[in-house]
Amino acid sequence: MKKSMLCMALAMSVLFPVFSQDHSTDPSKYYLVVADVVDSQSLLPAPPDTLSAHYAYDREQYEWGKSVRGTDRGRRAVTDANLGDGWLDRDFSEAFGIVLTEENAPQIYKLINNMKEDAGDLSTRSAKNHYMRPRPFMVFNEPSATPDDEPALRKNGSYPSGHTAIGWATALVLAEINPARKAEIIQRGYDFGQSRVICGAHFQSDVDAGRIVGSAVVAALHADKGFQKQLAKAKKEFKKKAGK
**Residue-level pLDDT at 133:** 98
Residues in CB range of 189: below 8 A, 6 or more apart: 167, 168, 170, 171, 172
pLDDT digits (tens, 9 = 90+) for 125-151: 999 999 999 999 999 999 999 999 999
Average pLDDT, stretch 40-68?
98
pLDDT beyond 90 at 152: yes
Catalytic annotation on 54?
Answer: no
**Domains detected in the chain:** 21-242 (1.20.144.10)
> Which residue in 125, 135, 188, 202 is the catalytic one?
202
Displacement of CA 193 from its chain's centroid (Å): 8
- Of 133, 163, 188, 211, which one is the catalytic site residue? 163
202 included as an active-site residue? yes
pLDDT of residue 242: 86
Alpha carbons 185 and 48: distance in angstroms, whole number: 29
Q: How far is CA 44 from the centre of its chain?
A: 16
How high is the pLDDT of residue 17? 37
The reported pTM is 0.89
130 catalytically annotated: no
